[in-house]
A and B are shown apart, each in its own frame.
Chain A
Amino acid sequence: MTECVSIGIDVGSTTWKAVAVDSKGNILASIVEEAEPLIDRQTERALAELKAQVKAGDGVRIGATGYGRKRVRADLVLTEITCHARGAFHLTGKGGVLIDIGGQDTKIIKIGNNGDVLDFSMNDKCAAGTGRFLEVILKRLRVPFDEVALRFNKAVNSIPVSNTCTVFAESEVVSLVAEGKEIDEIVKGLHQSLASRVASLAGDIPPDSEIFMSGGVALNESMVKSLVDRTGRRIRVLNSPQLIGALGAALAAR
């Protein structure tokens, strides 16, 4: 087995991710778990598991990122913005615009042709426009994640969810349900509303810029489709999108 030189840990608001890489940045093993409240304990346990999988010694370098990064004993601590950009550039080898929709925030990162972060923007403190927003509303609608795409595709029309605040959007959805609106149409409208928010955060993306997507929400194909429809552009979802931040942290720590 190729030697593991570094491990990147991304402690997000909803999931805990780690990636072990070799000297060329190839992913040797990874772990994705739901984030636990006791970050230190989860990190200690899961990191030991990952190290055992790749037979990494104590000398392996650790890079940490994500909201819980300060709770990780690491050789290098970097923000998700830098790590997602590094991870994405490593996989694509080119610049472009990266849309990362995570649990707690949405980031639009402009990456230069040499992998530098040229600029970035994020949603403000409101959770509207994040993975959490989707999660809250889907839970209220009792739609499990694996049914989302099916219901989205079944809906002929869509009912827009207009509120920009997660809390108000939830009550708006409750009202729509009470009015007897079709759940599938609300699901479709919900995704389109979120896509619209993300697109306005992204602003004008130059036509020659490729658009990539990372973060847990990239696994939601209805969301990707809504973004494609909204932007009128092709969007490339990176492999294992949830792991891009951890990959970037591992690469930076090498």
Chain B
Amino acid sequence: MITRKIQYQMAKRAVGPFLMALDRWQSAQKSRKRKPRETPFGPPLQSVQKLKEIMTLNYFEGRYADGAVPVAWVTSGFPAEVFFALGFHVVYPENHAALCSTRHKVPEIAEFAERDGLSRDVCSYARTDIGSVISGKTPVGRLPKPDMIACCTNICQTVLYWYRNLAEYLNVPLVLVDTPFMYGGTREHHLDYVSAQLGEVIEAAERISGRRMDAEKLARVVENARDGSRLWGECLAISQARPAPWTGIDTFFHIAPIVTIRGTETCNEYYRMLKDELTERVKAGVGGIKNEKHRLLWDNLPIWFKVREHSTMTAERGFNFVCATYSNAWAEAGDLIDPSHPLESAAKTYTYVYLNRDLDNRLKTTVDLAKSFGVDGAVLHSDRSCKPYSVGQVDVKERLQKDMNIRVLLLEADHADERSLSGEQAEMRLLAFMENFND
């Protein structure tokens, strides 16, 4: 136990930062030597290096976390503030699966879950994480074994079964926060129901970790989460400028801190830095792509394994994804968080998430986004793995066409499993969509 704690502290405070400094130096050397490549993108964001360091360090620390600090695996929509306040190391299996996808590792990892009986129709994130637990395969070296896992049904119902499977494979307790689906607004009994569950989560986390919740610390973490969400929203809103100083595709990567280390000072420091850089780019007229002719909205999760390819294809033709409902989902909640009433406001915040609300809200949010960012087209990713996000997209398409008279493409793919994509057909749809815009 003590050895483990020393290893963890060494990884967190010495080895990790040293490796990051080394990587920074090597990157600087490489970029000095490398002839700049001709790309359709604007100059790369300087903040990217910092983002890479934060996320790499987070996974690096994770390798040594179990046995040193309590560890929880949680869904992206879980009120993880309670775990951060108790000093847990928090792992996000969704983020891990997305990372596996960008490294093209999903087919070989998910196969282990499929061999164990999971259908290919099950969410590819779930198959990847379960496959990773079965096989131990991961591109991040090692994931720490959790002391508990926690799931919140505000993003989909699949998480419940996915996490039950994880709990079984890992032989750890599962805590569940069940959020009623919101038709219209929340009612008081909904919030009472959710905040009572949050109280139980804290009790369970205290029992499992042997630590006591410090109310002041929780309030501080919640305040950070509120500020982080606001800062993230401010970074996104900067893309209302023309040209947008970054791309919607960039936002898919820069979303990582608000998802995985929400509530920490590191998260907020990062977004302050990013916001400053984006503001400077707007002042200097620097765009995310070199020649922004058309502005697009992206709906649903990214197609992680194709993100770079699709963004290059669109940027080459002067198309920039300036906003995305997916990136926006983490910016919506900021104003609902109240550090003086952490549980009550968390109940509201996490019940009000985008995917836990009715179609009317999705239609309105999408049209409002499209209008405020001045888009002249939208790509709706009909995601085989994310049914709750994909159901209703025909209505979203019709509403955007009716209210804004813009071109809308429904693109069938999958957020992580490249076996579920017909690459040529998807490329043809995107190209045909772009060919018919008038410059």
- Residues of chain A touching chain B, judged by Cβ–Cβ distance below 8 Å, are 67, 78-82, 105, 116-117, 119-122, 124-125
Contact = CB atoms under 8 A, between A and B. Distances in A.
Contact of A82 (B408, B420, B432): B432
A112 to B, nearest CB: 10
B412 A124 contact: yes
A207 to B, nearest CB: 18
Given A105-B425, A117-B436, A79 B410 contact: no
Contact of A79 (B421, B422, B431): B431
Given A121-B410, A124-B412, A82 B421 contact: no
B100 to A, nearest CB: 22
A82 B424 CA distance: 16
Nearest to A112: B436
Contacts of B2: none
Contacts of B431: 79
Interface residues of B, number: 16
A125 B432 contact: no
Contacts of A116: 436
Contacts of A124: 412, 422, 425
A113 to B, nearest CB: 15
Contact of B421 (A67, A80, A81, A125): A125
A82 B407 CA distance: 14
B412 A80 contact: no
Nearest to A124: B412
25 contacts: A67-B424, A78-B435, A79-B428, A79-B431, A80-B428, A80-B432, A81-B428, A81-B432, A81-B435, A82-B432, A82-B435, A82-B436, A105-B425, A117-B432, A117-B436, A119-B401, A119-B407, A119-B408, A120-B432, A122-B425, A122-B429, A124-B425, A125-B420, A125-B422, A125-B425
Given A67-B424, A105-B425, A124-B422, A79 B412 contact: no
Nearest to A69: B428
A89 to B, nearest CB: 12
A122 B432 CA distance: 11
B435 A125 contact: no
A122 B409 CA distance: 11
A201 to B, nearest CB: 11
Contacts of B410: 121
Of residues B407, B408, B432, B435, which shows the largest number of chain A Cβ atoms within 10 Å of its Cβ?
B432
Of residues B412, B422, B425, B428, which shows the largest number of chain A Cβ atoms within 10 Å of its Cβ?
B428
Nearest to B436: A117
